[in-house]
Each structure stands twice: as C-alpha cells, then as structure tokens.
Amino acid sequence: MKIKIEDFFTPALVKDTFSNNDYKIVNIFIDFARSLSKLTYQSMYLIDYAKKSFLYVSDNPIFLCGSTSAEVLRKGYQHYFDNVPEEEMYLLKKINDVGFDFFENLPDEEKLQHSFSYDFHLKQSNGNPLLINHKLKPILLDKFSNPWIALCVVSISSHAKPGNIIFKSDEGGRQFAYNLETDRLEELPRVKLKPREKNILLFSAQGLTMDQIAGKLYISIDTVKFHKKQIFSKLKVKSITEATAVAIEQSLF
C-alpha cells in the first residue's frame, strides 16, 4: 500500500485548536532554534503536528538536499517523499508509528523528558544518498498531553545501515532500542567509561595521535592501545568516529 503524507500524522492525536496567542510561545522556540543552528553544522527544524507542517528549517545543508530552507519549509513532509529512498519511506512510517506509541504510553509528566533517534538516507545535492541520524524531541504538548511541536536535529550517522532506533530519557539516562525484527523495545545496558578511557576518547576525537595521547597522560603507547580496545569493546564500535558518536548519544562524557 502506497504511503501518503497523512499517514505520518494519523497517530499524532493532537486535539487542540491553537490560537495566535498559543503560537506566540512557539515563536520563542523558533527564535531559539534559529540561534542554536548558527552554532553547529547540524540541521534543525520544527514540526507542527497540529498544522501538519514544518514551522522552521535551518540553513544547514545536510537536511536540505540541495533545496533552500524556504523551499523545504514550504514542502514540509513532501521533502521526505522527494529525497528518501522509497523502500525507506516504509521504515520511516514504522518509526513514526513506534515513536507516537512510545510517547503515548509514557506518563504525562515524562513526555517532554524523552527523545528518540534513528537513521535513514537522504539524497544530497549531488544526487547521492547520505545516511543521516535524525533526533526528535517533543517540546510542546497539547492540553491532552499529545506531542504538538517537536524539535528535530539532523547530523551525519555513524552507522552503516538505516534503522538504529533509540529512545532516551533525559532525566534517568535509560535508553531503549527498538528491534525491528521482534517488534519490541529492549532496554540497553548502561555503559560506563573510566576516567582514563574518557580522556583517551576525547583526545582521539580531537585528532591527537597515540604518541601525543601517551605523552599527555604520561602512559605508554601500549596502554593507550589497551584502553582504546576497551572503549571499542564497551561501545561495540570499530572506530574512534563511531565511539565518539555513541558516547555523545549515550551522554558518557
């Protein structure tokens, strides 16, 4: 069955009608997102589930796919249909449904304390698909505690394949991975990095060589190598780039 734009909003359940005064609050969030986007390479945009549209799209190019931010703002969800591979639109629809179901089952007081992230391909201006990481967090709810406005942040994914659906609690630090094969949420074990492992990961992310890291920490190169292996094993990654991305996602620093 062919997916339609309306399918992405059916689970939203937004029941309020919002006045111009209500949207004055939204404008504060738009101004904040606009300012924040100037400090990062990541793309940012705001979704309005009541209007079924985008409210703001930053100028950062990763999400734009060669269009201008104004064009993407005007197109809204059609932007996905134009630039996401057709087979992955079904994945996005599944993620959308799973996300709304997750938030609907949270206690009302926790709904603004959770976010989730996932990976999919977006066609870039050169025509080639790029695997991006998409984070979404509700920032305003309607009076029935349904997500109304959501902030989205787009960056380059550190994974090799689409999917990788993770729900995260801002307060408790708990994380859940959604398993597409079993159709279930699975709580992820909490990973802890030792202080030295954190230092080595930070120095590596800054581009320092193992010689330089060993000199800064007054340890041998073999010790640096040992700790890197420990980091990769704990985070289940194969490179410093992946390790850094996972550590940031899991708030390990």
Average pLDDT of the chain to the nearest whole number: 91
- Taking only the tens place, the pLDDT of each residue in 157-167 is 888 899 999 99
- Taking only the tens place, the pLDDT of each residue in 220-239 is 999 999 999 999 898 888 88
Which structural domain, as residue segments, surrounds residue 221?
195-249
CA triplet 59, 94, 118: central angle to 5 degrees? 45
Same domain, 206 and 86: no
Same domain, 62 and 177: yes
Same domain, 60 and 32: yes
Same domain, 60 and 117: yes
Query: How many domains is the chain built from?
Result: 2
The answer on pLDDT for 37 being more than 90 is yes
Same domain, 204 and 181: no
* DSSP for 69-117, written as a single string: HHHHHHHTTHHHHHHS-HHHHHHHHHHHHHHHHHHHTS-GGGTTSEEEE
Same domain, 143 and 82: yes
pLDDT of residue 241: 80
pLDDT of residue 111: 93
The answer on pLDDT for 17 being more than 90 is no
The identity of residue 178, as a single letter, is: Y
Domain harbouring 205, CATH code: 1.10.10.10
Other C-beta atoms within 10 Å of 248: how many? Answer: 13
pLDDT of residue 253: 64
Query: Lowest-pLDDT range, 118-127, 159-168, 214-223, 239-248?
Result: 239-248
Same domain, 30 and 144: yes
Q: How far apart are CA 97 and CA 103, in angstroms?
A: 10
The answer on pLDDT for 59 being more than 80 is yes
Q: How far apart are CA 64 and CA 58, in angstroms?
A: 9
pLDDT of residue 34: 94
The answer on pLDDT for 144 being more than 70 is yes
What average pLDDT score do residues 58-75 get? 95
**Which DSSP letter does residue 174 get?**
-
* Global pTM value: 0.83
Give all strands of the β-sheet with 114-123 in edge-to-edge order: 53-57, 43-48, 147-156, 129-141, 114-123, 163-169, 175-179, 184-187
What average pLDDT score do residues 196-212 get? 90
Domain harbouring 145, CATH code: 3.30.450.20
pLDDT of residue 219: 93
